[in-house]
A and B are shown apart, each in its own frame.
Chain A
């Protein structure tokens, strides 16, 4: 039989494109939107103090970089600097300024070197807003809750808090 039957002749024509399509692996693409842009740069962390009217006031402490939550809280515990105008802190001064931070997806746990008596409710807001501010500026969610664990056992340690100025 010298002549190839027509189905046989058609075989390469059918198979080749399939092989080519499968074999040609990764193709170039256009520009694709993939995710939110990363964030985290800042001239410095934002600290929260209380003004004369008793309201929370944010104040950027220009350290040149955002830094971490413990660093920001340490700065908060140190208190408003000399150039901070008429704001004050409602957190009692302490010798120890080291703060331990544990961050999960939905919450931030702060182990503070304070008792519940060392802070007023406004002082608690100062701590919460400062920690949450750094978290958000570093790319975290504004819906994250903050728990403050005091040195002494107290029901206040188990409260999930939010910042009245954020979220």
Chain B
């Protein structure tokens, strides 16, 4: 995951949350404001319409003859404007849309009561206010009795509808105006939250990459700061233990190097005098001679072991030098086998002249170790095959022994690993394969082990051929 999409994710979520909260708040305020405003608007308008209507009726009524005839009803209807219906018993005066909109419920309320009643109805999307009222007879003492005259009228509420719509639109516009403001605020808030998070992430990444000195200075006292402090403490603990481990590791390596170095001086003496001993052993008594031969054999082994230990120490210290030379690999392998008298025991299969830029001494070490291992642990015939591609040269050493058991395979390159625990007295140092692989890797190549199909272990050395022909002239 890239860093950009990561921060975008968190930022987007913060922005969304902010925008949502703002919109919800603004929306709720607008909704409730617009709702009550609408109610007030409608109510005021209805009140005005109703009052005006009642006043009209009241103004006209004293001039009407009673009981009314049809002309009187018509006069009243005309005075009250379009959409009015006036009834008196079965007499009726009507024009306009009124009759369609007057509901039975309203008619009933007018007929039963002595009150002016209203009802809002929607007709084809247009809001109307239907007003119905009986006209009552009032005695001089205030007693009211129905006169039998009923008046119904409708009033168009489109004006109010438009006002309410305008109100809603302006509320929405206000809410919409809050949105960019909310986004700006959210960005600012996101910055303050995300920057310490990003710092922490960079620190964690550096820690993961091995920079154990990486820290984030904590800012403030919030949860992020506590997290930062915790991570710093964790990093400190890791750094401390890593330092201790490195110290122990390098102490151990230095110890090995020192021990090897110190062993070399007595080994120099032993090596020097062993030949004298060997020359004279022929004249010794049998048990003395055998003792001398044992001493000689073991001294050689000791020398070999110390040399291998020192070689491993050099690999560990990264001080193993690589001296690349243009080398004919098949010939180098053949020379390596010939130098040890192995040509009779090994089938060597090579192609034409395969040149590669390698360190011939290290190639010799690898080949010698692999073949020695095959001869020692495998069964004849041992096959050594050299092949090459444009990019790399491959040396395969295959024996026809039982092969490497699965539990052994992952450990064959371990130091001092012995496949057969009982066979402790092998002539090798136990470091040969480990050193061989280190040598392969020093070249940028590798050494791998597996089993061939018909049984037998196979070791494959791959070395890059090196594109540039190194100039052999070193002067």
Question: Could you tell me which A residues sit within 8 Å of B by CB distance?
Answer: 1, 5, 7-8, 10-11, 14-15, 18-19, 21-23, 25-43, 46, 58, 64-68, 129, 132-134, 136-139, 142, 165-167
CA distance A14 to B24 in the complex (A): 7
Contact A37 B121 (CB under 8 A): no
Which of A10, A33, A40, A42 gathers most chain B CB within 10 Å? A40
17 more CB-based (< 8 A) A-B contacts, given A8-B20, A18-B27, A22-B171? A5-B12, A19-B172, A22-B34, A26-B42, A28-B120, A32-B118, A35-B54, A37-B113, A38-B54, A38-B116, A40-B60, A40-B61, A64-B65, A66-B66, A133-B140, A139-B58, A139-B61
Given contacts A7-B17, A37-B116, A137-B139, contact A1 B5 (CB under 8 A): yes
Contact A8 B16 (CB under 8 A): yes
Contact A39 B144 (CB under 8 A): yes
Q: What residues on B are CB-neighbors of A1 within 8 Å? A: 5, 8-9, 12
CA distance A87 to B413 in the complex (A): 145
The stretch of B159-167, B338-346, B396-404, B414-422 in contact with A is B159-167
- Minimum C-beta distance from A57 to chain B (A): 12
Contact B62 A138 (CB under 8 A): yes
- Minimum C-beta distance from B162 to chain A (A): 8
Given contacts A23-B168, A37-B136, contact A7 B20 (CB under 8 A): yes
Residue A31 contacts which of B8, B46, B63, B109 (CB distance < 8 angstroms)?
B109
Q: What residues on B are CB-neighbors of A5 within 8 Å? A: 12-13, 16
CA distance A34 to B16 in the complex (A): 48
Q: What residues on B are CB-neighbors of A67 within 8 Å? A: 62-63
CA distance A57 to B144 in the complex (A): 20
Contact B61 A38 (CB under 8 A): yes
Q: What residues on A are CB-neighbors of B165 within 8 Å? A: 23, 25
5 tightest Cβ-Cβ pairs between the two chains A and B: A40-B61, A133-B140, A38-B57, A66-B62, A26-B127
- Minimum C-beta distance from B177 to chain A (A): 15
Would you mind naming 22 contact pairs between A and B with Cβ atoms under 8 Å apart?
A11-B20, A14-B24, A19-B27, A22-B34, A22-B168, A23-B168, A25-B160, A31-B117, A31-B119, A37-B144, A40-B57, A40-B60, A40-B62, A40-B138, A41-B64, A41-B66, A41-B149, A43-B66, A64-B66, A67-B62, A68-B62, A166-B140
1-59 of chain B: CB within 8 A of chain A: 5, 8-9, 12-13, 16-17, 19-20, 23-24, 27-28, 30-31, 34-35, 38, 42, 46-47, 50-51, 54-55, 57-59
Q: What residues on A are CB-neighbors of B135 within 8 Å? A: 37-41
CA distance A39 to B114 in the complex (A): 10
Q: What residues on A are CB-neighbors of B167 within 8 Å? A: 22
CA distance A142 to B142 in the complex (A): 7
Residue A22 contacts which of B31, B120, B139 (CB distance < 8 angstroms)?
B31
Question: Could you tell me which B residues sit within 8 Å of A by CB distance?
Answer: 5, 8-9, 12-13, 16-17, 19-20, 23-24, 27-28, 30-31, 34-35, 38, 42, 46-47, 50-51, 54-55, 57-68, 103, 105-106, 109, 113-122, 127, 131, 133-142, 144, 147, 149, 151, 157, 160-161, 164-165, 167-168, 171-172
CA distance A33 to B110 in the complex (A): 10
- Minimum C-beta distance from B277 to chain A (A): 81
Residue A34 contacts which of B30, B61, B118, B122 (CB distance < 8 angstroms)?
B118
Q: What residues on B are CB-neighbors of A28 within 8 Å? A: 119-122, 127
Contact A25 B62 (CB under 8 A): no
Which of A30, A31, A67 gathers most chain B CB within 10 Å? A31
Q: What residues on A are CB-neighbors of B66 within 8 Å? A: 41-43, 64-66
Q: What residues on B are CB-neighbors of A15 within 8 Å? A: 23-24, 27
- Minimum C-beta distance from B388 to chain A (A): 49
Contact B5 A138 (CB under 8 A): no
CA distance A65 to B17 in the complex (A): 72
